[in-house]
Structures are given as C-alpha cells and as structure tokens.
Chains A and B, each alone.
Chain A
Amino acid sequence: MITNDPIILLSEVSLKVGRDSILNQVNADIRAGEFIGIFGPNGSGKTTLVRALLGLIPIAAGTMALFGEPVKRGSRLIGYMPQAITTCETARLSVRAMIMAVQAGERWGMPWNKAAAVQEVDEVLELVELRHLAEIPFYQLSGGEKQRVQLAQALLGKPRLLVLDEPLASLDPYHQQQLVSIIENVKKITGATILFIAHDINPLLHVIDRIWYLAGGKAALGTLEEVLSNNVLSHLYNASMHVIRAEGRIFIVNAESNVLENTCCGHSHA
C-alpha cells in the first residue's frame, strides 16, 4: 500500500567521508509503503547513504528529512539491519536472548525484560519464521537463519521504515530467495517502507517498486525501466554502460572493459 506522504525527502544532498566526496547533489522522495532497492558498485556510497539516513554521519550539503523531520540519530521509527553478522562464538546465548538484548538496549540500568517485552521478541521471531528456534544458541544457526535473526531485531518496536544493509551478502541463491520472500511477507504484514541494499538486482526484480542506483558519486531514483537504461547508467558511471536483459535477468556491463567492477577509469571507488 503506497500512499503519497513522502517518508524520505532528500534535496541536493552531498555526503562526505573525511575529505572524500562520496555522493553529490542527490535528490529523492520516497513514499510510505514503497519497497526500494538500493544498488551500485562497491564504494558507490550505499553504506554512506544508509549511515546518513541513520544520522551517524553529518550531511555535507543539502537537506535530508525523514517523516517530515530532520534526520536524527537513534530514531525509533527506523528498524536497521546492519551488514555484518556479529558472530559471538563465545557468548552462546539463545536466539531469544540475543534479540532481548536489543530491546531498549541503549537504556541505563540492568537488562531485566518485562513479560510484554519477551512476548514482542517472540512476535518478531514469528514474523521471520524462526519462532521454533528461539531456544537454540545463536552461534549454532546457519548463515541464512542468522540473517533472519538480524531482520527480526530490526522489527522490534514496529518501525515504519526498514533499512536493510546487504542482507543477501554471503547467502547462496536458495537462501537469498528465502530471505527475500520473508522480507516481502514482513512488508505485507507490517506495511513498512523498505530500503533494501543489494549488490545484485536479480534476486529482487519481482519485489521492488523502484530502484535507487548509485554510481560515480551520483544517484538515480526511479522505476526499473526508468533507471536501468543505457543512457541513465552511462551518465551515472561516466562511461559507456549497457543493460542486458536475458531470460528475465538483468546484467549491467561496461562496454569498454566488459566487467562492471572494473570501471575505475572515470570515477573514484573510494
């Protein structure tokens, strides 16, 4: 269900990491209920953009608003699923205990959890179809299950925006599809807006409403047809790019060097 309220509004936003300029003059408006896929080569600024949305890095220029307010750190309206899985082999806490630690984790005092809080943990585990593994030590889970635990904690507090930082990285195609359909289902039930960062477009082709493509310090937001064109991508990469569609899959290649990741001639991969 997509409404017309802009939930994320970027106007001429530039982002820097140290002195390096990562993104320049980015404009975007994302409406409530959209499923947005964020793509781009390594170092194109996907993670930097997420960190800015979370309020972890300052905005070098322009304005960025979430839910009609300036971005602030620690917003409870955002559920964030970080990129790295924190494998604490030595901790050996159960899946439920791992998620309980996230609830109001920034508060002072001792980690007592009320019954209602424990109930909520089981609800988010239900959403990611892991309720049956609640008592299992986290470290014993498979890679795909660990990612679902990461997703489950992001759902605590019923956030209106989910920011998922490369949840498909390091998963095989089968588990990628499984996670994507779980996320699709979560979206159906909660109605949350989703920003999904991924390296490869193909596993997400059938679920995304629009894509946000970052490359060469620039960004383009639009439907698949609008963004995945030779002209738009060539402008982003500042190189001659081709979009190849074959058997329902999409490939993006650099006409000069054949390989997407090797297009370092024109722009910085910082």
Chain B
Amino acid sequence: MLDYLHYEFVRHALFAGSLAAILGAIVGYFVVLRNVGFAVHALAHIGFTGATGAAMLGLTSLEGMLAIAVVAGITIGAIGERLQRSDVAIGMVLSVALGIGMLFLSLYQGFSGQATSILFGNIFGITYEQIIQMLFLFLVTVTLLLIGSRRLLFASLHPDLAEARGISLTYLSMSFMLLIAVAVSLASQVVGILLVFALVIGPASIATRWTRYFWSGFFGSIAISLVTVWSGIFLACVTNWPPSFWITGILFLSYIATEIIKR
C-alpha cells in the first residue's frame, strides 16, 4: 500500500481528500443536527452553474462554484425554513441551475471533458495550487465553525430558547449556510457535485446513530469520513476503479449496515 505514496498524485489525493473529509464531516454533523440536508443537495447543484461558468471567466471550477454557492447559501439562510417545505420550488431552481450549467458547458468549446470531473469528481487530478487553495478554505471554515459551535449546537437543538437568550436565528442560519457552501464546494473537488451529498451527510448520519453525545458524534463523524476517503483512494489505486465509486459505495454499505443494526 505504501508504494502508492511514491506517486505525487496519490499524495495530493490523500491530502485533499482528508481536508474535504474532515470539513464535510464537521459541517455534515451540524447539518444532521439541524436536519437541513436539503441545503447540501441544493448548494451542490447550484454550484454546478458556477463551476461550468467559471471557465468562461477564466476562473477555476472551485472558485466559480464557491462564488455562486456562497451567494445561494446566504439566500437560503435568509429565506429560512419555509424553503425546506417547498420542495417544488427547490426542484425547479435546481433543475434550471443544472440547465444553465449545461449551457455554459456547450458555449465554452473544449471544456466538455471537464463536465465529468465536476459532476463525479477528479481527486487524482488535483494540483499543488488547488491544495493550497483548499487548505486555506479549510482552515478558515473550520476555525469559524469551532468558534460558533457552541451557539450553533444550542440554537439547532433549542431554537426558541436560543432566540430568548438573544441569538438571532436568521443571522446564525445565514452564517451556517455560508459554511455549508464552502464545505460542499471543497468536497465536490473529491467526489463531484452529484455525489457530494453522501460525503457530507453520510458519515454524520452514521455517527449520530452510534453516539449519544455531541463530542462522540462529532469525532465519530470525522473518523468515519477519513477512513472512508482513505479506503476509497487506496481501493481506487488497487482496482483502477474511480475513487468516487468506492467512497460512495463504502458509505452506502456502512449506512445500510447501521440502519439494520440500529433499527
């Protein structure tokens, strides 16, 4: 197994994969606590427009996705929980987001090869510059999340009480959606926007089934996420099958096993 570490692209994949796994797991744990999984799904799809549109502006797909997902995230946070119940509206917006993304792809000739890596991830194609960019985003986001984690936990479990103690639920929700947007953009670099839901929600929802306290769920989620991504990359090296397949496959089987055991 260690032989694979001689390859630079494998080392890059492991490093970028770990960043995405940790950030996805932390954000995902709060997403599960707040029950706002729809936002992960929505931001990933809306991000597709940004990722494909970015090439036209000379930006990388991560930059493009980040820009549009952050705007969309803040908007979702401001609109609030009403959005969660209007699945028709969400479905329509997501469809048009993918449609516009396709338009950008077709307008920009020679970019179509990128479509697969945006949709399904391209962890073995990550460059040193991208890793630096990801590391920066990772450090900023994790720091902000940890600073706000006590408030976020309180307001997620007891919104009425949090409001009574002077926490603005709207600002909190907008800030958290912004962090989801960053996590989703980062994790999309690893598994792509179509599969990002599994990497962000999967480890956290498995961890909450096995734990009963905040910190055990928090670290459990990170551990599951890291082990999954590392195993996925290793199995991809051995089999030559795509890492996205292995990562989502492992998460799916762990999820099914958890549901059966913990039912």
**Residue interface mask B152-167, A partner, CB < 8 A = 1:** 0111111111111111
Q: A108 an interface residue at 8 Å Cβ cutoff?
A: yes
- Check A84–B154 contact: CB distance below 8 A: no
Q: B79 an interface residue at 8 Å Cβ cutoff?
A: no
- Chain A residues with Cβ below 8 Å from B208 are 90-93
> Of the candidates B156, B162, B213, which one forms a contact with A106 in the assembled complex, judged by CB atoms under 8 Å apart?
B162
The distance in angstroms between the C-alpha atoms of A86 and B34, with both chains bound, is 11
New A-B pairs, 9, CB < 8 Å, besides A93-B208, A97-B214: A74-B165, A82-B164, A91-B35, A91-B157, A98-B158, A101-B153, A106-B165, A110-B149, A110-B150
- Check A102–B148 contact: CB distance below 8 A: no
- Chain B residues with Cβ below 8 Å from A94 are 212-213
> Of the candidates B32, B146, B158, which one forms a contact with A101 in the assembled complex, judged by CB atoms under 8 Å apart?
B158
Identify the 5 closest CB pairs spanning chains A and B, nearest first. Answer: A105-B154, A82-B160, A94-B212, A74-B166, A111-B150
**Nearest residue, chain A, Cβ from B35:** A90
Q: Which bracket fits the contact residues of B?
A: 20 to 34
- Check B214–A111 contact: CB distance below 8 A: yes
Q: How far is the CB of A9 from chain B (nearest CB, A)?
A: 21
- Check A108–B147 contact: CB distance below 8 A: yes
Q: How far is the CB of A41 from chain B (nearest CB, A)?
A: 22
Q: How far is the CB of A236 from chain B (nearest CB, A)?
A: 28
**Residue interface mask B201-240, A partner, CB < 8 A = 1:** 0000100110111110100000000000000000000000
**Nearest residue, chain B, Cβ from A87:** B35
Q: How far is the CB of A105 from chain B (nearest CB, A)?
A: 3
- Check A101–B35 contact: CB distance below 8 A: no
- Chain A residues with Cβ below 8 Å from B159 are 86
Q: Which bracket fits the contact residues of A?
A: 20 to 34
- Chain B residues with Cβ below 8 Å from A111 are 149-150, 153-154, 214-215
Also in contact, A91 and B154, with CB within 8 A (given A74-B166, A101-B214, A105-B161): no
- Check A92–B150 contact: CB distance below 8 A: no
- Check A105–B153 contact: CB distance below 8 A: yes
Also in contact, A93 and B161, with CB within 8 A (given A105-B151, A111-B153): no
Q: A60 an interface residue at 8 Å Cβ cutoff?
A: no
Query: Which residues A232-255 have CB closer than 8 A to chain B?
Result: none
The distance in angstroms between the C-alpha atoms of A91 and B156, with both chains bound, is 10
The distance in angstroms between the C-alpha atoms of A110 and B144, with both chains bound, is 11
Q: B33 an interface residue at 8 Å Cβ cutoff?
A: yes
- Chain A residues with Cβ below 8 Å from B209 are 92
Also in contact, A73 and B166, with CB within 8 A (given A83-B160, A88-B35): yes
- Check B154–A102 contact: CB distance below 8 A: yes
Query: Which residues A84-134 have CB closer than 8 A to chain B?
Result: 84, 86, 88-94, 96-98, 100-102, 104-111
The distance in angstroms between the C-alpha atoms of A94 and B147, with both chains bound, is 24
- Chain A residues with Cβ below 8 Å from B164 are 54, 56, 73-74, 80, 82
- Check A108–B33 contact: CB distance below 8 A: no
